Amino acid sequence: MSSIDEITSSDYVLGNKKSLLWVQDSTALVFGIGAGILQLESFKGFAMFVVGYLSVALLYIIWICRLQPAKYYQSPINDIFIESFVRELTGYVMAWTFSYALVG
């Protein structure tokens, strides 16, 4: 009986990660563009990224995972908070720099 719970479909594990990555990518870029338009500089910009990233992750857990991230991700903390942090940070910095230069 217990083995039923452990069966995972690798396709759906990947699919869940993909949908999370899509949410994180789009929000990171949007936050970056927003930070550039607001002309945020240095510390404020990075603070905006951290706040935005964390709140998007929390909203994802609350809204899309319905407070049960363990149901959809094998290691929720790592998958949702850590794995794509650097990727989103660089994407955010790019969008931020771009819109900062365009607007300023």
Partner 1 sequence: MALSVWSVWSLITAGSAGAVAELTLDPKLKYWVLLPISIVMVLTGILRQYIMDLIAPNTKGVPRVKLTESQWIYKAQALLANGSNLSAEAFQLRKEHLIEVLAGGKYLVKLNTDGQAPSPLSDPNLSENMFSMAKGNLANFIPQTIIMWWVNHFFAGFVLMKLPFPLTPRFKEMLQSGVMTADLDVRWVSSISWYFISVLGLNPVYNLLLSDTESIDINAAQQPPTMGGPGEPQPEAVMKGLANDLTIAENESCFDDIEQRVLEKYS
Tell me the three state secondary structure of residue 81.
helix
Token pair in block for residue 63: 């809204």
Pair 35, 46: CB distance under 8 Å: no
22 binds partner 1 (CB under 8 A): yes
| H helical segments located in the chain | 2-6, 10-37, 42-59, 69-72, 76, 85-103
69 binds partner 1 (CB under 8 A): no
21 binds partner 1 (CB under 8 A): yes
Q: According to CB under 8 A, which one of 33, 56, 57, 95 is a site residue for partner 1? A: 95
Token pair in block for residue 52: 């935005």
Q: According to CB under 8 A, which one of 31, 72, 73, 92 is a site residue for partner 1? A: 92
Q: According to CB under 8 A, which one of 25, 34, 76, 81 is a site residue for partner 1? A: 25
CA dist., res. 52 & res. 45, Å (int): 10
Q: How far is the CB of 78 from partner 1 (least distance, A)?
A: 19
Q: Which residues bind partner 1 (CB under 8 A)?
A: 10-12, 14-15, 18-19, 21-22, 24-26, 28-29, 35-36, 39-46, 87-88, 90-98, 100-102, 104
